[in-house]
Amino acid sequence: MANYKSAISFGLVHIPVSLEPVIKNNDTSFNQLHKKCKHRISYIKYCPYCKKDVEQKDLVKAYEYTKDNYVEFTKEDFEKIKTEEDKTLEIISFVKISEIDPIYLEKSYYLETDNKNKAYTLFKKALEKEKKVAIAKTILGNKTYYGMIRFSDKAIIFTTFYFEEEIKNSDIIEDYTYSEKELNLAIELIKSMTDRFKPETFKDDYQDKIKDAIEKKINGEKIKTSKSKKKESISDLMEALEKSIRKKKHA
């Protein structure tokens, strides 16, 4: 979704914004070929009743309410059942970001506006001063979303949430007994590896390997099996912790 028009609704304050996706996909794209003739596969929409291919412009959305009985919906139908409030980012509360479990976070969008918009700048500064995030509700496409509005260095960001029922519950991990010394060693190892969060250092090494492999294939070279680093296997937890700490200190 790009250039989705909306507005932050904050009490009686109305701040026009557009939603721009924060994330861009940098993955290497591959096509599917027919193994036999090496030609690219086409994805064709086919109507078995008319026995013919169907173009995108001839498709409609429909809901099957009983077997083989449908009601059709147009884009205009979906828009008609939205109120103006539904189309805004309606703020319903303010919370501390520490209260939000990251497991609920889905997609993020920049909330962009005219640089001369005083209300936008004021709202951003107020969030920063209060060290709070806003919980907002809106409709994007054909679905209601809740999410948080927070400030960043240069913009305001809206991050959508997953609903509670969308989160899979995990089985509780069985508790095991451990010694005080083992706990202290684990804490010492954590402290020795503690650093600032530096996302600029993160790199998709595997994508680099794929691009290198593509070049090799183009030049008629064979792909060699990558060698894994030898890793010492230690079954005793205490010994593993102690050796990890010594190795970290030596590094």
pLDDT in tens, 73-116: 998 998 888 888 888 999 999 999 999 999 999 999 999 987 66
Residue 183, SS3? helix
In whole angstroms, what is the distance from residue 32 CA to residue 42 CA?
A: 9
Q: Is residue 52 part of a domain?
A: yes
Say whether both 145 and 244 belong to one domain: no
Same domain, 86 and 149: yes
**Confidence band, pLDDT 50/70/90 cuts, at residue 243:** confident
34 assigned to some structural domain? no
Residue 214 domain flag = yes
Do residue 22 and residue 68 come from a single domain?
no
For the entire predicted model, the pTM comes to: 0.79
Q: Which pLDDT score, from 0 to 100, does residue 49 have?
A: 92
**CB neighbours (10 Å) of residue 149?**
24
Same domain, 100 and 186: no
pLDDT given for residue 226 in this prediction: 81
8 A C-beta contact, residue 89 and residue 6: yes
Whether 129 and 160 map to the same domain: the answer is: yes
Sign of CA dihedral 181, 187, 190, 192: negative
- Tell me whether strands 143-151 and 133-140 are parallel, antiparallel or unpaired: antiparallel
Tell which wins on pLDDT, 33 or 224.
33
24: region left, alpha or beta (phi > 0 left; psi from -120 to 50 alpha): beta
Confidence of residue 162 (pLDDT cuts 50, 70, 90): very high
In total, how many domains does the chain have? 3
CA-to-CA separations, 42 to 3, 32, 45, 48, in angstroms, rounded: 30, 9, 10, 17
Q: Is the domain of 216 the same as that of 112?
A: no
Identify whether residues 15 and 137 lie together within a single domain.
yes
**Domain carrying residue 85:** 4-26+80-165
Both 61 and 126 in one domain: the answer is no
Phi then psi for residue 170, to 5 deg, are -100, 150
Domain-located, residue 14 = yes
The CATH number of whichever domain residue 85 belongs to comes to 2.40.290.10
Indicate if the pLDDT at residue 156 is higher than 70.
yes
Choose the weakest-confidence range: 50-54, 217-221, 243-247: 243-247
Instruction: With beta carbons less than 8 A apart as the criterion, state whether 161 and 140 touch.
Output: no
Same-domain status, 204 and 85: no
69 and 86, same structural domain?
Answer: no
Q: What is the gyration radius of the CA atoms in the chain, in angstroms?
A: 26
Instruction: Looking at the structure, tell me whether residues 91 and 160 fall in a common domain.
Output: yes
What's the confidence (pLDDT) of residue 46?
93
Q: Contact, 218 vs 158, CB < 8 A?
A: no
**Considering the domain boundaries, does residue 61 fall inside one?**
yes
- Give domain status of residue 171, yes or no: no
For residue 1, what pLDDT is reported?
46
User: How many angstroms separate the CA atoms of 50 and 117, rounded?
Assistant: 55
Report the percentage of the chain scoring pLDDT > 70. 94
* Residue 136 resides in a domain: yes
Last residue of a domain, one of 58, 76, 94: 76
Q: Is residue 197 part of a domain?
A: yes
- Domain co-membership, 199 together with 85: no
